[in-house]
Amino acid sequence: MEQRPDPDELLKHIQAEEPSRGKLKIFLGYAAGVGKTFAMLEAAHQRQAQGIDVVVGYVETHKRVETEALVAGLEILSRKQVEYHNVALPELDVDAVLVRRPTIVLVDEFAHTNAPGSRHPKRYMDVEEILDAGINVYTTLNIQHLESLNDVVAQVTNVIVRETIPDRVLDEASEIEVIDLPPDELMVRLKEGKVYIPEQASRAIDQFFRKGNLTALREMSLRRAAERVDDQMRSYMQTRAISGPWAAGERLLVCISPSPLAEKLIRTTRRLADELKAEWFAVYVEITSKPENDPVNRERIGRILQLAEELGAKSLTIGGSSIQEAVLEYARKNNITKVVVGKPLKPRWQELWKGSIVDQFVYASGDIDVYVISAREGASSPMLPKEWQPHSPLGRYMMALGLVFISTLLGVFIRGDLEPTNLVMLYLVSTVISAVFLGRGPSLLSAIAGVLAFDFFLVPPYLTFAVSDTQYVITFIVLFVISLVISSLTARVREQAEAALLREKQTSALYDLSRDLSSAADLQQVVNIIISQISQGFGREVAIFLPEGEQVRIFATSPNYYPDENELAVATWAYQHNQPAGRGTDTLPAAALRCQPLKTSNGIVGVLGIHSKDKNNFLTSEQRLTLAAFANQSALAIERASLAEQAQQAELLQATEKLQTALLNSISHDLRTPLVSITGALTSLDEQSDSLKEEYRKSLIVTAREEAERLNRLVGNLLSMTRIESGAIKLHLEPGDIQDVVGTALEQLGKRVANHKIHVDVPTDFPLVPMDFTLIVQVLVNVLENAIKYSPKDSLIEVAADLMDDANGAARLQIADRGVGIPSDDLARIFDKFYRVQRPESVSGTGLGLSISKGIIEIHHGQIYAHTRDGGGTIITIELPLRGKE
């Protein structure tokens, strides 16, 4: 079908070319800072140079030097000060412009919203008034302010722009000049501070000014300009009746409902219409039998229809008995070629039960194309069940009538046996059933139908509407009143039941959460439970932030989700100000994360972050309440877990301190004891030298000497222990002779072995063992000392060396005694620091010897262990590798 020049169209163009209305020139850019105002001012100067009268209506220089310089040469009209909350806000003074009547007036920021109290809510309306008065206007505009591009821009930049202008205003502009700047240069300008950014938006702006975003916006603005050129070309051809390569005349229709999808459908249809160069209509179908009474929905519908108009559609409301019938009828009448509907939201079984509009459309559409636009998931709350009336409106009324019919049938069967007053109960039943299951309307219908049927079928004379007994009139009235009352009561009950169901769902979810939390053992578990419960319950990704000083850090997140720095900033703000922040709040709404501070009576224990991948998906107010309840529980659980950890650590610290104190006390005692004898002996010898007998003197001297040696050994042990602990021991490995080691150890023990028999057995030709000789001697001294300490006088201690026959080959040295033995539980613990077998009490010594030995043997990559000897006593075994390890 060829498009002929539309007479309306022609008229419009003629009018457009008439000089009666002012011409609008828009300087279009893709972001703040590309230089639109600057270009506008330059153009103004050029005009002025040509002798044209140019004034400045409202130009925002943001104190930039270059811009101010350009403004300087032009006449500036004073601004109007609008009082708002005791603050004077400067706005464009429209009257001043009208009085002045310049040829061109410069008005910056086309999409600006005026302060409340101004003549028009939006500046573009001011401009329209000026244009109407025949004055030309130059203005500046960023591409994202266009209504039809709003959601695309939001998708690309993650920023929702609130100040928008209808597209038709752009379309009606007589000239558009695209001010373009490569994104890289813009970023440079941003860094140099040449771009004006309002402070509070700085964080969101960082996100906005990314190269990817800027490039996308730039493309949008360029494409828009190109489309316009296309349009201009087309209109040129139209007016000259040139049949051109224009698209087949498509006409689109989009069906509107109060659903939140509608806006998206509208915008998508607008874009489709643009691409197809088609007219389009936005239609709302009002079901005559069920008018939309909900004021919220009505307002929504109105808004959407207006939006459609603004975007260039013809909006209208049509009436009909069913949506698909009405739409298709209209479509056929008006040569609609394509109908746009939204993809179904409900689960499939509900559709089968209820009947889907889409299916109906498709079946009945004939040669009209049906475009099904995808709806993003999550528009409906996952926790709230939608309508639970199973029937379409017509169906319900039919069911109500059906119930009446059944009651009538029954009544007819038994009317001979019962008084009509009893038969009326049947209709009561059907009315109640209708009220409970079918809704107010159907129940009223069943009441009316019931009364009529009752009269007609069950009250003599049968099959007439006459009434033989007037008392039945009362019955009718009562029946009717009862039906009314019941139906409204049940309607209320139903609503309450729905609310209760919702509360119950919330409560049970909360119960699940607190039950799981109460069994969680530590902080990590608690956090994991919180994350999994919340992400399941809300269908979103979750992050938990815990405090670290003044800031918060990310503690745990849902799998595959990691908050970026902006989101961390949102969480930090929420923590520092103890208020929710992020998406859906008043603070930093551009972020994709909603942060809820976790509060307890002791303060803020952390921040809970909910992240939605879907930009259009906001939490309902019920969900927000539930989230707050979850947050409370979580806060308590986290606090509890943290406190438990703290308590544990405090306990540990206490235990460690106790141990340290005991240790120090023990060492102090052991160091001081020898000094007692030494000091005692020396002072005695000093003060009592005359009165002391020779043997006593000798005895004191011997005691003092032995104690001095003992003290020396203790000091040596402590030093060795310290060295081993700090890793300061350097091994000098050299081939060593086991027999030599044993002999040297015995030599060092000196008098201490005097009371025992020592038997040494090292085979001839026993190989040399790589070792640090001095250290291994020390080991042997310690082990032998231990054996001596715990063995009775004159008992035998045997030292034997042999080779182990395992793969690597190791030398084994065994020291066996016939002493008191070690309890099997303690066999490993005797090698611990400061361990002392509790029996016999007369044994002294700090208990470092074996532990030092173990340390030394381990540095040699050997082993030392003890086991009980058959027949009493202990065997301590030392193994040393024959091949020295590097």
Partner 1 sequence: MSDTGQRVLVVDDENSIRRYLRTALTAQGFTVYEAANGEEALNAVLNNRPDIVILDLGLPDFDGIEVTRRLREWSKTPIIILSVREAENDKIAALDAGADDYLTKPFGTGELMARMRVVMRRLANKSDEPVIQVDSLKMDLSHRLVTVDEKEISLTPTEYDILRLLMQNAGKVITHRQLLKQVWGTAYESEMHLLRVNISNLRRKIEPDPTRPHYLVTEPGVGYRLRADA
Out of 736, 819, 821, 873, the residue judged to bind partner 1 by CB under 8 A: 736
The answer to whether 62 and 109 are in contact (CB under 8 A) is no
Out of 90, 735, 763, 872, the residue judged to bind partner 1 by CB under 8 A: 735
Q: Which residue stretch of 177-185, 220-228, 242-250, 704-712 sits at the interface with partner 1 (rule: CB under 8 A)?
A: 704-712
The 10 Å Cβ neighbour count of residue 139 is: 26
Q: How far is the CB of 758 from partner 1 (least distance, A)?
A: 8
Q: What phi and psi, each to the nearest 5 degrees, are found at residue 246?
A: -95, 160
Q: Which residue stretch of 10-18, 272-280, 742-750, 846-854 sits at the interface with partner 1 (rule: CB under 8 A)?
A: 742-750
Give the position of tokens 């597209």: 167
Q: In the chain, what's the furthest Cα-to-Cα distance? A: 151
Q: How far is the CB of 848 from partner 1 (least distance, A)?
A: 16
* 119/195 Cα distance (integer angstroms): 30
The answer to whether 857 and 863 are in contact (CB under 8 A) is yes
DSSP code, position 831: G
Q: How far is the CB of 661 from partner 1 (least distance, A)?
A: 29
Contact call for residue 788 and partner 1 (CB under 8 A) = no
Q: Which residue stretch of 221-229, 262-270, 692-700, 770-778 sits at the interface with partner 1 (rule: CB under 8 A)?
A: 770-778
* 526/588 Cα distance (integer angstroms): 29
Q: What phi and psi, each to the nearest 5 degrees, are found at residue 644?
A: -60, -45
Contact call for residue 743 and partner 1 (CB under 8 A) = yes
Q: How far is the CB of 792 from partner 1 (least distance, A)?
A: 22
Secondary structure (3-state) at 819: coil
Contact call for residue 734 and partner 1 (CB under 8 A) = yes
Judged by CB under 8 A, the chain residues 12 through 71 that form the site for partner 1 are none
Q: Which residue stretch of 216-224, 425-433, 733-741, 841-849 sits at the interface with partner 1 (rule: CB under 8 A)?
A: 733-741
The answer to whether 94 and 133 are in contact (CB under 8 A) is no
Contact call for residue 740 and partner 1 (CB under 8 A) = yes
The answer to whether 166 and 310 are in contact (CB under 8 A) is yes
Taking the least distance from each CB to partner 1, the nearer of 95 and 734 is 734
Q: How far is the CB of 735 from partner 1 (least distance, A)?
A: 4
Out of 703, 739, 863, 868, the residue judged to bind partner 1 by CB under 8 A: 739
* Token pair recorded at residue 246: 């224009």
Q: What phi and psi, each to the nearest 5 degrees, are found at residue 418?
A: -125, 150
Taking the least distance from each CB to partner 1, the nearer of 22 and 736 is 736
Contact call for residue 744 and partner 1 (CB under 8 A) = yes
Taking the least distance from each CB to partner 1, the nearer of 308 and 852 is 852
Out of 651, 747, 832, 858, the residue judged to bind partner 1 by CB under 8 A: 747
Contact call for residue 406 and partner 1 (CB under 8 A) = no
Contact call for residue 810 and partner 1 (CB under 8 A) = no
Contact call for residue 719 and partner 1 (CB under 8 A) = yes
Q: Which residue stretch of 124-132, 333-341, 625-633, 744-752 sits at the interface with partner 1 (rule: CB under 8 A)?
A: 744-752
Q: Which residue stretch of 80-88, 612-620, 762-770, 866-874 sits at the interface with partner 1 (rule: CB under 8 A)?
A: 762-770
Q: Which of 825, 810, 819 is nearest to 857 (CA)?
A: 810
Out of 762, 810, 813, 866, the residue judged to bind partner 1 by CB under 8 A: 762
Taking the least distance from each CB to partner 1, the nearer of 166 and 674 is 674
Contact call for residue 390 and partner 1 (CB under 8 A) = no
DSSP string computed for 602-641:
TEEEEEEEEE-S-TT----HHHHHHHHHHHHHHHHHHHHH
Give the position of tokens 């015995």: 746
* 580/582 Cα distance (integer angstroms): 7
Q: How far is the CB of 739 from partner 1 (least distance, A)?
A: 6
CA distances from 780 to 470, 741, 773, 788 (A): 125, 8, 11, 12
Q: How far is the CB of 705 from partner 1 (least distance, A)?
A: 8
Q: How far is the CB of 769 from partner 1 (least distance, A)?
A: 10
Contact call for residue 773 and partner 1 (CB under 8 A) = yes
Taking the least distance from each CB to partner 1, the nearer of 166 and 736 is 736
Q: Which of 570, 560, 642 is nearest to 609 (CA)?
A: 570
Taking the least distance from each CB to partner 1, the nearer of 24 and 704 is 704
Q: Per 3-state DSSP, what percentage of the chain is helix, strand, and coil (rounded to 5)?
A: 50, 15, 30
Q: Which of 845, 797, 840 is nearest to 820 (CA)?
A: 840
Out of 774, 829, 832, 885, the residue judged to bind partner 1 by CB under 8 A: 774
Contact call for residue 188 and partner 1 (CB under 8 A) = no
Out of 247, 384, 473, 768, the residue judged to bind partner 1 by CB under 8 A: 768
Q: How far is the CB of 734 from partner 1 (least distance, A)?
A: 5
The answer to whether 170 and 292 are in contact (CB under 8 A) is no
Contact call for residue 606 and partner 1 (CB under 8 A) = no
Contact call for residue 801 and partner 1 (CB under 8 A) = no
Contact call for residue 777 and partner 1 (CB under 8 A) = yes
Out of 24, 214, 608, 742, the residue judged to bind partner 1 by CB under 8 A: 742
Taking the least distance from each CB to partner 1, the nearer of 276 and 733 is 733
List of residues 6+ apart from 456 with CB closer than 8 A: 462, 463, 464, 465
Taking the least distance from each CB to partner 1, the nearer of 736 and 881 is 736
For residue 504, which amino acid is it? E
Q: Which residue stretch of 190-198, 531-539, 712-720, 873-881 sits at the interface with partner 1 (rule: CB under 8 A)?
A: 712-720
Strands (E), 64-163: 75-76, 80-84, 87-91, 104-107, 136-142
Q: How far is the CB of 783 from partner 1 (least distance, A)?
A: 16
In this structure, which long-range contacts are made by residues 292-295, counting pairs with CB atoms below 8 Å and at least 24 apart in sequence? 292/258, 294/258
Query: Which secondary structure element, helix H or strand E, spans residue 599, and what is its range?
Result: strand 593-600
For residue 269, which amino acid is it? T
Q: How far is the CB of 658 from partner 1 (least distance, A)?
A: 32
Contact call for residue 764 and partner 1 (CB under 8 A) = yes
Q: Which of 24, 20, 17, 22 is nearest to 40 (CA)?
A: 24
C-alpha count within 13 angstroms, C-beta hemisphere, residue 167? 21
Out of 398, 667, 760, 827, the residue judged to bind partner 1 by CB under 8 A: 760
Q: How far is the CB of 696 from partner 1 (least distance, A)?
A: 21
Contact call for residue 678 and partner 1 (CB under 8 A) = no
DSSP string computed for 368-408:
SEEEEEPPPTTSS-SSS------S-HHHHHHHHHHHHHHHH
DSSP code, position 600: E
Q: CA angle, corner 228, sides to 223 and 233, nearest 5?
A: 125
Contact call for residue 746 and partner 1 (CB under 8 A) = yes
Taking the least distance from each CB to partner 1, the nearer of 127 and 745 is 745
Taking the least distance from each CB to partner 1, the nearer of 26 and 745 is 745
Contact call for residue 682 and partner 1 (CB under 8 A) = no
Contact call for residue 712 and partner 1 (CB under 8 A) = yes
- How many chain residues touch partner 1 (CB under 8 A)? 24
Contact call for residue 884 and partner 1 (CB under 8 A) = no
Residues 466, 471, 475, 476: is their CA dihedral positive or negative?
positive
Q: How far is the CB of 634 from partner 1 (least distance, A)?
A: 59
List of residues 6+ apart from 668 with CB closer than 8 A: none
Q: Which residue stretch of 108-116, 491-499, 743-751, 837-845 sits at the interface with partner 1 (rule: CB under 8 A)?
A: 743-751
By CB under 8 A, name the binding residues for partner 1. Answer: 705, 708, 712, 716, 719, 732, 734-737, 739-740, 742-744, 746-747, 760, 762, 764, 768, 773-774, 777
